Amino acid sequence: MTYKTDEIWEDKWVNTTCGVCYCGCAARVRVVNGMPVKIEGIKESTMGGTGAGLCGKGIAGLMYYHDPSRIKKPLRRTNPEKGFGVDPKWKEIEWEEALEEISTRMKKIMADNPNKILFTNQTNRASDGPHNHLYFYAKAFGIPNNGNFIIGGGSLHCGNAAHMLGGLIHGAWSIAPDWRYTNYVLKWGSSKGTGSGHSAMTNARLRADGIRRGLKEIVFDPMGNFAGGKATQWVGILPGTDTAVGLAIANYILNTRGEIDELYLRAKTNFVYLIREDGTFVRDEETDKPLVYDENEKKIKLFDDPSMAFEDFALEADCEYKGEKCRPCFMALKEHLKKFTPEWASKISTVPVATILDVAKGWVDNAQIGSTITIEGQTFPYRPVSSVTFRGSQGHSNGIHQVAAIDLISQLVGAEDVPGGTMGWPSIRRKYPGGQYERLPKVGKDGVIVPSVFYSHDPWPVHSPSYPCTNSGCVEFWSHSTLSHIPYVKEKDYIQEKFGVKNVQPEMIFGISVNFLISQADWSAALDNFKDCFVVQSDIWVNETDQAIGDIILPDTCYLEKDTWSSEIDSFFFNGSPSNEDWYVHLQNPVAKPIGESRDFMNVYLDVANRVGVLDKYHDLLNDYYSITDERLQLKHGEVLTWKEIGERVLEWVYGDDKEKIQEQGFATWHKPIEDVYWRWNMPTRCPVYMEFLIHDRRAAEKIIKDTGFELEMDMDQYGPLPNWFWPTSHKELDDEYDLLAFSYRDVLHTNNSTFQNPLVDEVSQMSPYTFTITLNKGLADKKGFKDGDIIWLENKYGVKENGIVKTMEAQHPKVIGICGQGGLWADGRPIAKGKGSNFCKLLPSYLRHYDPITGNIETSVAVKVYKD
Amino acid sequence: MKELNELEKIMFRSSGNGLKPYEWMVLPTRQQQWIDDKGIFLWLAFFFSEIGAGLYFVSMFYEYKAGLILGWLITLVLGGFIHVLYLGKPMRAWRMIMKPQTSELSRGIWIIGIYAVFGFLQMVTGSFNIVLNTISGILCLLIISHGFATMNVVRALPAWSSTMVLPLSIVSGIWVGQQVLQFMVAVSGSAAMASGMEIWAETFFFAYFLCVLLYAWGTYHSDDIGKASIVMQATDDELKKITWIGVGGLGIVLPLLFTLIMWGGDTNGVLIFLRLACVFAGDLALRYVIMKSALYKPLLTRQ
Amino acid sequence: MPRWGMVIDVKRCIACWGCTIACKEEHFLPPGVFFNRVLIGESGKFPSSSKLIYPILCNHCTDAACVEACPTGATYVREDGIVAVDDDKCVGCRACLVACPYQQRTYYDQKTKDREYFPGQGKTEMELLGEKLYPLKVGTVIKCNFCSERVDAGLKRGLIPGKDDDATPACVNACPVGARIFGDLDDPDSEVNHLIMEKKGKQLRKEFGTEPAVYYID
């Protein structure tokens, strides 16, 4: 700080938003002589860690700016051959040439069928600025339903099941404990609060304070590392078996202890809806609304009959409607749960019976059912217990049942969106005082919440599977997948043919710094599915996907050079604080000038849209998205603006007279009233915990399967209304030879694979025992004859293998092998990353049976054999 | 040193201590500064000051001036100069006299300085009076033990702070010095004198042998880390050769053989030379393995 | 005169390495040089084993082995307890480096200076600028100085180390979970002292007898 010399002509700090992962923490950057030299958090903002705290990889972010491997001019592949290990023979070309070629191709494809253009992005701000805008940018090209949006860096491992349930229950993208008030947290394979997931450092700060307050954290996870290693109690569990333990705990709560939050269940869930013998809702013929039974008046009524008090909704009753026997679906749950004993769950999950019972008992004892708390003058139910999951436990072929079982525990004690309970990310976004943009969830069909924002199609109202499908994602059939898995599925061609997808064989991919070839599953399946496309990517480096199949690579600016005014405006439900904290919304201010000829991809997008002739349509979509009604600020047809110029208008719309102050400050903050934090209690919505729609979906799907003669294996029994136990595909593939389950997890140091190229992160990764290594339980290693430092091979049943360096751990389940993150990289364009770590993704088989039939989540554990050379 | 596997080489920066970066101070971690790379100078510097002073010391008893001069030169020129070369800022070497009250290294510089003056006086005057001899003798013993004493005060390294380090150092200094002198005497034609010195050679050899054994035994039983150091000396891929061939074979077995052949004073120049060569190599090897195998206690422990 | 010290709350720490990297940026340290590190390991046996995470840095010991070993007086304990190196006096003998039981010192030689963050691609402008902004002398020993330049400059401006970021070590500011607390060990009312008393703060490897000024609470 003090060693200044005459050569220093500038030394200042600029507020911006971190772009190293998707959390968007507040960041301030020290700029000396026009160069970023240090990054920390912003003390005045709660977006992120304590005080000016920021995680290591965030602090290391400045290396994105300084990396000499960054591309500085557009690159054109001159070798027509594509594939792994093929030299693309890059040639530098001018921007004009690149953009002209891209738009000419696009126009030609659009004249035929716009669905042949695929879009994709990386949930990694390092190069992606406003990652949410890409979804509706695609719409400007006439591509509906996100069916042609292929999953990028966050990969299929991400939250198809978690997002679906988060959306249905909380109107939110994801869930977290209400750290400020909770006392007892169950984490199922999730690292929320210990480094990963949404709002990672916000959660970490809140969790750390909670832990100091005496909060107990029990982590069910195959390994005791990031989450388990910091927990009050780590419980080793087999991957994909959380459902079993969850159901056993639910059974304990409901049938053994019988201590449930009856008022909550009557008031806020659909467990009071009447069902027939076949499990479907009994609906009013006229209004099609589900019916309930009024205990007080002993009468069947509409579920939203205003005459009923919450206490009147019957959870248990035998009634008859128009001659048909019916009962509240809660009764079905009660019966259904009885078979899930702790002994049964223990056999499946390997968690000892006593542990299951201890945890279940702790849960009920801590739930304080019936208690209330008054915050800021308002009284709410107080349920200081929370059960959360994310990528880990939901990433299985039984994913939807995993998340539903984990959620059920909270539901039964009423610990949902109340102080101390399980929270969704904010579902509400209030106007900035004096500004305009506001997002509020709605109450939809059957009283279920419709989220105010959702990145892909809304989880509610649901659409039953239909056919023929119109896009390569076949989202008409897989109507619950947040983003479709089909483009990556090995039998993609067969599926598309059977489901009547015509003339959508993708011809072009437009991506933003995505490494989709190597970060999903079976590399060769992905290569087969995409190698014939014309692949355009905007990125700061040439990554593995680019080297294998990229045609034109456009040099993007890194986040430190971006003017991404939009970065957080609508990310309240993605990056905001899930607990009781004020609103904080950040801008990504540029701290340095773009490197070489690099251009922010948003400007490239606008340019391409203009050339292709869809810019006006995109302007309309933007006006609509931000609900801009002020004519002066609206984006008009015929205007050609830069992303910054668009920002000037949108920001004025959003922040009114405070626009400039906020731009300068780099963030906006205003009070979040307590009723917006715990919004559910005052909103007449009901959680669709009884997923009745799946019964109808099953019927629809089975009909399509029958009609089309579709013969691929799909476990249709999963289409059931209540969480149930299904063996994950990986477990079914275990045998004497392939005797272990490999799984992967997120490392606090890494965001997908982009951080592997950061030398500051690289050197600390080397000092972290589990980051570049393959971990296995010490006892297992002894049995197999492995020791620390050995090179071992993992091989799946389909002959795909990967090697790596052994690091033994005590805190790892003896039946599993762990690999963190997305290592095993080989692109020449990223020399720091090259060769580091091992790649887990390639080991995941990608047949349809390895996917959750409902959400499209890939099975993220895999049966492997392990051996030394 | 174990050949690093390719994968390991790509993933982990080698720090030359045989550990992966994540094992540093989590497992017992080897001292590197005073032996690896340029640290090898320190090994030589300590060795030369020791044998130089040893030679000087023994020469005084025989009033053998050539030994005096050679010893003085070895200590100052080879020992001192090599040590200065090791420094990051050699031109500032004079600053090392600043902290004799706490720093063993600083004290050593003072002693060498005084020794330089007294030795010079003694060589010039050719005087072997009791006062000068006593002063020079004490200075020699201090210099002989200087290297190991500097290492001995490092409490964090049990392989160095072990009790037997100082006695071993003094005995080995005198033993090697005595051997150099015996050789000088032999080649200068004084066969009778050389033969007469053999009784002392026998004595110092067995004292040396005993000290080595006691050092190994004592350090092994000092604590886990001392034990690990001894195990490392005996089993590490690189060190075991130096330990068994250098310290054991050249430093002990062969000198023992030669000593037995010449038992009772039946000396001859060739054997004296061969024994000196072995003793030289053996002592270098001993110092090398002691310096190379010093391990720090890991820091990671439940507090 | 205060005596600066630190409390590290290992219960809060999530091993994100923020301290390590922030320190490197603050001091423009070359590759492979760390004034802050995180040690990670385990204790106990499956299934009741637990992860150990210890962020470490110079302990600024009261009875520092390095100060004792230094032959020139270049390494010294300041009045405020910070163990500092005067790089005009250091001869690079590395006695301190060998003596430190916590191994918190680094010898800065030409080889270290020449290291590039992007090997073979030349030094970045930031690395070159860093050499001007925070010059390190080749041939001397470098180490964590509790960001004494921040502490000193902050005090001159009337700021309070440990409270005001500009007067507080970079690693403390950087910690996203508030696991580092900096303050005056001689002030009985300081937060560090309260934490040490309340949570029974322990020094790392107390048996070395150097009286560290860094305490750990669990």
Q: Which residue of A has its CA nearest to B2?
A: A789
Residues of A with CB under 8 A from a CB of B: 763, 766-769, 772, 789, 791, 803-805, 807, 834-837
pLDDT, tens digit, for every residue of A233-258?
Answer: 999 999 999 999 999 999 999 999 99
Tens of pLDDT, residue by residue over B222-256, are: 999 999 999 999 999 999 999 999 999 999 999 99
Residue A133 has pLDDT above 90, yes or no: no
Residue A863 phi, psi (nearest 5):
-75, 130
Collapse the DSSP code of B293 into the 3-class scheme (helix H, G, I; strand E, B; otherwise coil) and give the result: coil
**Residues 225 through 244 of chain A touching chain C, CB cutoff 8 Å:** 225-226, 228-230, 234, 236
CATH class of segment(s) A1-150+464-689: alpha beta
ipTM above 0.95, yes or no: yes
Q: What is the mean pLDDT of residues A717-726?
A: 98
Residue A707, classified by CB atoms within 10 Å of its CB into exposed (0-12), middle (13-18) or buried (19+), is: exposed
Taking contacts as CB-CB distances below 8 angstroms, the residues of chain A near B22 are 766-769, 807
Token reading at A80: 């027509």
| Long-range interactions of A257-260: CB distance < 8 A, separation 24+ | A257/A360, A257/A361, A257/A364, A259/A364, A259/A367, A259/A369, A259/A413, A260/A369, A260/A412, A260/A413, A260/A414
Q: Which pair of tokens denotes residue A187? A: 């984490």
Q: What is the mean pLDDT of residues B150-165?
A: 91
pLDDT in tens, A650-709: 999 999 999 999 999 999 999 999 999 999 888 999 999 999 999 999 999 999 999 999
A307-321, A389-403, A499-513: least confidently modelled range? A499-513
> What pLDDT score does C71 carry?
97
CATH class of C4-217: alpha beta
Neighbouring CB atoms inside 10 A of A664's CB total 10
User: Are B301 and C43 in contact (CB < 8 Å)?
Assistant: yes
**Total CB pairs under 8 A between chain A and B:** 36
Is the CB of A96 inside 8 Å of chain C's CB atoms?
no
Domain A175-424, architecture per CATH: 3-Layer(aba) Sandwich (3.40)
**Among all residues of chain C, which has the CA nearest to that of B83?**
C93
Interface contact A766-B12, CB threshold 8 A: yes
Q: Which of A45-49, A347-351, A473-477, B63-67 has the highest mean pLDDT?
A: A347-351
CA distance B121 to B106: 23
Q: How confident is the model over A555-588, as pLDDT tens digits?
A: 999 999 998 887 777 777 788 898 999 999 899 9
- Given a cut of 60, is residue A287 above it in pLDDT? yes
pLDDT tens digits, one per residue of A147-185: 677 776 566 777 889 999 999 999 998 999 999 999 999
Give the span between the Cα atoms of A407 and A415, in whole angstroms.
10
Distances (CA, A) of B216 to A337, A629, A842, B256: 67, 87, 52, 19
pLDDT at B303 over 50: no
- Chain A residues whose beta carbon lies within 8 Å of the beta carbon of residue C129: 32-33, 35, 37
Instruction: Provide DSSP, A212-275.
Output: HHT-EEEEEESBTTTTGGGSSEEEE--TT-HHHHHHHHHHIIIIII----HHHHHHHBGGGSEE
Tokens (6 digits) for A128: 């992606």
Per-residue pLDDT reduced to its tens digit, A364-407: 999 999 999 999 999 999 999 999 998 889 999 999 999 999 99
CA–CA separation, A272 vs A305, rounded Å?
13
C77 touches chain B (CB under 8 A): no
Across the interface, of C40, C52, C107, the residue whose CB is closest to B302 is C52
Q: Which of A3, A50, A767 sits opposite C134 (nearest CB)?
A: A3
Q: Each residue of A320-360: pLDDT tens digit?
A: 999 999 999 999 999 999 999 999 999 999 999 999 999 99
What's the confidence (pLDDT) of residue C151? 98
Whole-number Å distance between alpha carbons of A866 and A208: 38
Read off φ and ψ for residue A348, nearest 5 degrees: -80, -45
Instruction: Give the gap in angstroms from C-alpha B189 to the nearest C-alpha of chain C.
Output: 43
Q: CA A619 → CA A104, A634, B4, C57, distances in Å? A: 21, 8, 58, 54
Looking up tokens 């034109």 gives A552
Structure tokens at A120: 């994709």
What mean pLDDT is reported for chain A? Answer: 93
CA C195 to chain A, closest CA, distance in angstroms equals 12
Angle at C56 between CA C53 and CA C57, to 5 degrees: 165
The pLDDT tens digits of the residues spanning B75-117 come to 999 999 999 999 999 999 999 999 999 999 999 999 999 999 9
Task: Establish if C182 touches chain B: CB-CB under 8 angstroms.
Answer: no
Residue in chain C closest to A760 (alpha carbons) equals C21
Q: Quick check: A811 and C50 CB within 8 A?
A: yes
Q: Who contacts A85 (Cβ-Cβ below 8 Å, separation ≥6)? A: none
Using a pLDDT cut of 70, give the percent of chain C over it: 100
Nearest CA distance, C89 vs chain A (angstrom)? 19
Nearest CA in chain C to B92: C91
A 10 A CB-CB count for A674 gives 16
Using CA atoms, how far apart are residues A336 and A635, in angstroms rounded to an integer?
Answer: 55
User: pLDDT tens, C99-143?
Assistant: 999 999 999 999 999 999 999 999 999 999 999 999 999 999 999
C50, A59: Cβ pair inside 8 Å?
Answer: no
The domain segmentation of chain C, as residue ranges, is 4-217
- Per-residue pLDDT tens for A765-795? 999 999 999 999 999 999 999 999 999 999 9
Q: Looking at residue A388, what is its pLDDT?
A: 96
Residue range(s) of every CATH 3.40.50.740 domain in chain A:
1-150+464-689
Per-residue pLDDT of A516-566, as tens digits, reads 999 899 999 999 999 999 999 999 999 999 999 999 999 999 999 998 887
Mean pLDDT of B274-278: 97
Tell me the mean pLDDT in the region A205-215: 97
Question: Model-level pTM?
Answer: 0.96
| pLDDT above 90 as % of chain A | 83
Q: Is the pLDDT of residue B29 over 90?
A: yes
Neighbour count for residue B284 (Cβ, 10 Å): 20
pLDDT of residue B2: 39
pLDDT higher than threshold 70 for residue A123: no
Average pLDDT of the residues of chain C: 97
Q: In this predicted model, what pLDDT tens digit does every residue of A701-711 receive, in sequence order?
A: 999 999 999 99
In C, minimum Cα distance to B95 occurs at C72
Establish if C139 touches chain A: CB-CB under 8 angstroms: no
**Residue A152 has what pLDDT?**
67
Would you call A224 and C49 a contact, using CB atoms and an 8 Å cutoff? yes
A596 touches chain C (CB under 8 A): no
Chains contacting chain B through 3 or more C-beta pairs under 8 A:
A, C
Angle, in degrees to the nearest 10, between helices B224-235 and B198-220: 120
A302 is written with which tokens?
Answer: 């509409």
CATH topology of domain A729-868: Barwin-like endoglucanases (2.40.40)
**Residue pairs spanning B and C at CB distance below 8 A:** 131
**pLDDT of the residue at B14:** 87
- In chain A, CATH 3.40.228.10 sits at 175-424
Hey, is the C-beta of B223 within 8 angstroms of any chain C C-beta? Answer: no
Least confident of A49-58, B42-51, B188-197: B188-197
Q: Do A205 and C20 touch (CB under 8 A)?
A: no
Q: Which chains touch C (3 or more CB pairs under 8 A)?
A: A, B
Q: Report the DSSP pairing between strands A740-745 and A861-868.
A: antiparallel
